Amino acid sequence: MQISPHVNLLNDLRSVLGDRARDGDFELGLYGKDGSVLQGQASIVCLPVDTAEVRQIVEICRHHDRPFLARGSGTGLAGGAVPVGDPVIIATAKMNQIIEVDLENRIAWVEPGVLNLDLTKELTPRGFHFAPDPSSQQVCSIGGNVANNSGGPHCLAYGVTSAHVAAIEVVLPDGSVTVLGDLSAEPPGYDLRGLFVGSEGTMGVATKVAVRLTPNPPAIRTLLLDFPDVRDGAATVSAIIAAGLIPAALEMMDKRAIEIVEAFVNAGYPTEADAVLLVELDGLPGGVEHGVEVVRSVAERHQVGNIRVAADNEERELLWKGRKNAFGAVARIKPDYYLHDTVVPRGKLVEVLDKVYKIADAYDLIAVNVFHAGDGNLHPILAYDSDEKGVLERVHAAGRAIITASIEAGGVLSGEHGIGLEKRDYMGMLFTAHDMATQDMVREAFDPQGFANPLKVLPSGSRCSDSFGQHVPDGAWV
Amino acid sequence: MSSLDAVPEEVHKFSAEVGTRDPVTVVGGRTQWNVGGAPDGSAREVVAPSGIWSHEPEEMTVRCGAGTPLTELSEQLAQHGQMVPFDMPPNATVGGVLSVGRSGLRRLRYGHIRDLVLQIRHIDSNGEIVTSGGPTVKNVSGYDLCRLMVGSLGKLGCLAEVTLRCLPMPETTRWLTGAADPFEVYARLYRPSSILWNGEQVWVCLEGVSSDVEAEAALLDLTEVEGPPLLPSGGRSSVEPKALKDLSADDGNWIAEIGVGIIHSDKPSTAQQISKTNESLMREIERRLDPNGRLNPGRQVVSL
Ligand SMILES: Cc1cc2nc3c(=O)[nH]c(=O)nc-3n(C[C@H](O)[C@H](O)[C@H](O)COP(=O)(O)OP(=O)(O)OC[C@H]3O[C@@H](n4cnc5c(N)ncnc54)[C@H](O)[C@@H]3O)c2cc1C
């Protein structure tokens, strides 16, 4: 009897992983999608425990001429971890050890499946933390942060993931293992580490990461400012930056966001306001107090209503709880949401926000805005009910209009969620064909045959080597 | 406005100058000319365009020709209380500093210069313009070729235009010196801008609002000085920050950047090893981006 290629491959994987190579309905359902609305098709899921196993999985994939896809917690919002082109999924959930905290070098070596917040919780008592703090930090993995070059509220002052990663151990698509970057100040040669960060799993699987540790600030002040008009809030954002102040975080929520968050967490957010800014200053006490004064005086010139300063850590955490639970709270108005991510120059926030509301109206959708205003990173949420007939078409059309408006304002496609599958075909809005072909040549230096996370980041036309088909399979939403 | 429309005339001119044939080498301020070795004599010298093309103080971003001297950049930014902390000789050019990819003395606080780069336009080995990154302060659209270009010594492309993130200038900058254990100093201070050590003496740079600088200075028993010491310029090596603990007087005349891992020394430095696997990845990138080896021939990023 002929054994099917699927069973053959699964048997080979099981000879290494035992029952940690799976093809049950439960796993396949779970790993067929990520945090986006896109749906792919998983056929085999592997749960390795160390680098050696990842390497063997990649070698077996090569042997069977099958691509692979690294997956962290699956919270990505651009479909980066959605399987297309029938990859074997390499989930890092069981590679979740903090290997070493090296305070002398201010570095920690961690496995990729370590959750972002778990790392910071481990470090905080020692006086340090990992600066990138995506709103999903309770559940997202460090490997995913590295692959997506993730940001978070506090990246305004501290920089995104790339600035906080010194070295990465990677299993390359040909099965070899290497370390990109090192702990020295200026690693020799080209910056392969910097290239790998943000490459969304298309250059190999990160199996260990050396992250930089940031000292905890001695003083922190958190302010909640409310505005009678969202435009004044947005204008305050650019005026704060223009005054030469870069707060640790500068987040904005519009009226609808305030209402749903307040109903959800009872943080005392002013529901009568049209917008609030959540501003955090940190550092040495003098700089923090100076920052508070700058924020106050700028806000007063922009019709601020109340300025609430968190009296203690408990109040501070309550204010942040509102911000960090905003996405979950959207479920109070509609069961589903589509979260967008574009960046515009800070001076264009008012103009683009205005357009976002108009676009949502035109497509009969509800727009909720909760975003990293300090770096112009918009996150319009389109809330909808997937049971409504034809609603997803409207959601996608509105999304496209929002992206177009952002780029027309001098912005970019993505500030932190990445391109993945979601925005792959929009890359031409920002880059010429030659720009993309150049990016692809660099990717190919790592993966000439396109084994690692196929069909992501670059539109298929720009790839010289798509061995796994030029088209996104039916059923994948793009 | 996508990258398609925004390319300035000067960049087009530079692309024509680089052209499609013959070896070329880009000349900046010649302040770090010999890093990676001198270029082949056969290479035609080209000069990247110069000039500040847009500075938007309220966005804290600046876009300029890669040939712009640092003095011109810092004068422009200082008018608005801003800076890009390159800390390199004033006649060095923006593109030159980035191509070499060495950070300045205040890296401890401000990070690697590569993290200040938002967008780069370069001329490739076919004389064509390539844009990577984006003009906004935050961006993850596409592969991060900007990181790759920094430190590439012009071997992957000739930098033509650069967009940088600016930082607010600190209200106060103060240098202190004296005898102290540099590692204790590092542990005691919150994000100092620089700590230098020559085995006997430390120099500390504190920046921020005056009250903070005073309070931090009071934690140390040091005296104020004009600025940093003159650095030995014979060699520059890079190690793990904690390896600086092993330095001794026997190592000659040196000054180390504590917390960073750079050693400035009067002895020539030995090249750091690159693993075989990384070397072949690097060679692959070179081969793909410059198949005929016309960009800065003779210079080596991947040492022989
Ligand atoms: C409610 C919510 C809030 C969010 N807030 C933020 C935010 O504030 N800022 C932000 O930046 N993002 C945010 N995100 C997006 C997402 O959480 C981040 O992109 C996160 O870093 C993804 O991590 P993950 O472990 O879930 O990765 P996954 O979704 O599993 O994977 C993401 C990508 O990384 C690749 N990958 C994963 N692990 C590896 C590895 N070991 N080696 C190589 N490639 C790998 C995958 O192939 C995929 O392309 C949010 C998401 C949600 C749902």
**Residue among B185, B167, B190 nearest B60 (CA):** B167
Q: pLDDT, tens digit, for every residue of A412-441?
A: 999 999 999 999 999 999 999 999 999 999
pLDDT band, residue A474 (cuts 50/70/90):
very low
Task: Specify the CATH number for the domain of residue A386.
Answer: 3.30.70.2740
Q: Which amino acid is at B197?
A: W
| ipTM reported for the complex, 2 dp | 0.96
What is the rounded average pLDDT of the residues B145-159?
Answer: 97
Q: Describe the strand order of the beta sheet including A307-309 as a list of residue ranges.
A: A307-309, A219-227, A275-283, A249-254, A366-371, A380-384, A336-339
Cβ contact B234:B252 at 8 Å: no
pTM of the model: 0.96
Please give the CATH topology (third level) of the domain spanning B9-168: 3.30.465
User: Which one of A327, A354, A376 terminates a domain?
Assistant: A327
- A455 within some domain: no
Q: Which chain A residues are closer than 8 Å to B209 by Cβ?
A: 284, 286-287, 290
**Bridge-partner residues for A89, per DSSP?**
A45, A69
pLDDT value for B251: 83
What is the rounded average pLDDT of the residues A326-349?
Answer: 91
**Residue among A24, A26, A28 nearest A40 (CA):** A28
User: Which one of A408, A432, A458 terminates a domain?
Assistant: A408
Rounded distance, CA A314 to CA A320, Å?
Answer: 10
**A447 C-beta closer than 6 A to ligand 1:** no
Residues A154 and A105 in one domain: yes
Task: Residue A278: give the domain boundaries.
Answer: 219-327
- A198 within some domain: yes
Residues A283 and A380 in one domain: no
Please identify which residue in the block is written with the tokens 């072909």: A437
Residue B250 scores a pLDDT above 70 = yes
Residue A294 scores a pLDDT above 90 = yes
- Averaged pLDDT score across all residues of chain B: 95
State the nearest Cα–Cα gap between B237 and chain A, in angstroms.
8
CB atoms within 10 A of CB A190: 30
Rounded distance, CA A333 to CA A295, Å?
Answer: 33
Q: Is A469 on the interface with B (CB under 8 A)?
A: no
Task: Specify the CATH number for the domain of residue A200.
Answer: 3.30.465.10
Identify which has the larger pLDDT, A332 or A53: A53
Residues A211 and A227 in one domain: no
* Token pair listed for A292: 């508070």
> pLDDT over 70 for what percent of chain A?
96
CB atoms within 10 A of CB A81: 31
Q: pLDDT, tens digit, for every residue of A204-248?
A: 999 999 999 999 999 999 999 999 999 999 999 999 999 999 999
Domain count, chain A: 3
Q: Which amino acid is at A369?
A: N
- A394 within some domain: yes
Residue A98 scores a pLDDT above 80 = yes
**Bridge-partner residues for B174, per DSSP?**
B206
Residues 6+ apart with CB under 8 A from B31: B88, B89, B91, B92, B96
- A135 within some domain: yes
pLDDT value for A470: 37
pLDDT band, residue A332 (cuts 50/70/90):
confident
CB atoms within 10 A of CB A363: 19
**Among A241, A415, A445, whose Cβ lies nearest the Cβ of B284?**
A445
Q: Which amino acid is at A113?
A: G
pLDDT band, residue A329 (cuts 50/70/90):
confident
- Greatest pairwise CA separation for chain B in angstroms: 61
**Residue among A368, A365, A367, A399 nearest A385 (CA):** A365
User: Which one of A408, A435, A461 terminates a domain?
Assistant: A408
Residue A469 scores a pLDDT above 50 = no
**Among B145, B152, B277, whose Cβ lies nearest the Cβ of A178?**
B277
- Averaged pLDDT score across all residues of chain A: 94
Residue B37 scores a pLDDT above 60 = yes
pLDDT value for B5: 62
Read off the DSSP letter of residue A476: -
pLDDT value for A466: 43
Interface contact B190-A375, CB threshold 8 A: no
Residue B35 scores a pLDDT above 50 = yes
Q: Is A212 on the interface with B (CB under 8 A)?
A: no
State the nearest Cα–Cα gap between A182 and chain B, in angstroms.
8
Rounded distance, CA A347 to CA A237, Å?
Answer: 9
CB pairs under 8 A between A and B: 259
**Among A436, A445, A458, whose Cβ lies nearest the Cβ of B288?**
A445
pLDDT value for A467: 38
